[in-house]
């Protein structure tokens, strides 16, 4: 219903952000990442999600579209509601989370406060299949990928499904593939993501 809001930061406190727009203060539930990103800023753009359930209507806010997309994926996992999804997003950065899911790293996920082993296993089981499904579709569009190895194509497709542009994904994967440093899909994705930051 609401895609985003642009307004001034009126109040920030313990995973709650109040954004004022045209004299109205909108209260959002946010992750620690978004809370930190909003700190010190005057006017901001917050991507939104409206939830209506037995607890009433609640607004959730995200500093980036990538965070919102991951939130929407997380709440599709059985047993995970918006509150737990925000805990997961607050527990680690998006890239680390994505790598943990793709690589099936239950231990890293279960270190997040309030996330047990069974919940971590469900996240990996249900979301890895979705990411791999998205990756397969995206891989069909990556005709410019130089590497012919399936692992390289899948890594680039995963990066695309996580919000990276096709061009940047191809460049990042080709760069790491050419260096010979990656020995697995996980390491290829990790190194490719790190190379984008440089």
What mean pLDDT is predicted for residues 101-125?
A: 86
Question: Given this model, what pLDDT does residue 132 score?
Answer: 54
CA-based nearest residue to 173, from 192, 158, 154? 192
Give the up-direction half-sphere exposure of residue 93: CA atoms within 13 A in the CB hemisphere: 7
Distance (Å, rounded) from C-alpha 71 to C-alpha 163? 13
Predicted confidence (pLDDT) per residue in 62-106, tens digit? 999 989 999 999 999 998 999 999 999 998 888 778 777 877 878
pTM of this prediction exceeds 0.75: no
Confidence band for 121, pLDDT divided at 50, 70 and 90? very high
| Comparison of pLDDT for 18 and 185, the residue scoring more | 18
Calpha distance 47→68 (Å, rounded):
7
Q: Which residues, listed in sequence order, are joined to residue 51 by a DSSP beta bridge?
A: 58
Among the ranges 64-73, 125-134, 155-164, which has the highest mean pLDDT value? 64-73
- What class does CATH assign to 1-63? mainly beta
Between CA 155 and CA 132 the distance in angstroms is 10
Q: Which pLDDT value is given to residue 163?
A: 74
């Amino acid at each position: 219903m609401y895609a985003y809001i642009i307004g001034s930061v009126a109040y920030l406190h313990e995973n709650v952000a109040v954004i004022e727009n045209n004299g109205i203060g909108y209260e959002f539930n946010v992750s620690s990442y978004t809370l930190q990103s909003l700190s010190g800023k005057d006017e901001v753009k917050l991507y939104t999600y409206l939830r209506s359930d037995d607890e009433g209507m609640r607004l959730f806010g995200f500093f980036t579209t990538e965070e919102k997309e991951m939130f929407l994926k997380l709440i599709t996992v059985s047993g995970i509601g918006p509150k737990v999804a925000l805990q997961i997003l607050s527990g680690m950065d998006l890239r680390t989370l994505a790598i943990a899911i793709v690589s099936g790293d239950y231990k890293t996920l279960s270190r997040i406060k309030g996330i047990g082993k069974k919940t971590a296993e469900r996240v990996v089981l249900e979301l890895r299949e979705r990411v791999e499904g998205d990756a397969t579709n995206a891989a069909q569009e990556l005709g410019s990928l130089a590497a012919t190895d399936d692992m390289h194509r899948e890594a680039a497709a995963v990066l695309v499904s996580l919000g990276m542009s096709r061009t940047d994904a191809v460049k990042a994967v080709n760069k790491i593939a050419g260096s010979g440093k990656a020995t697995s899909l996980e390491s290829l994705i990790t190194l490719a993501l790190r190379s984008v930051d440089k």
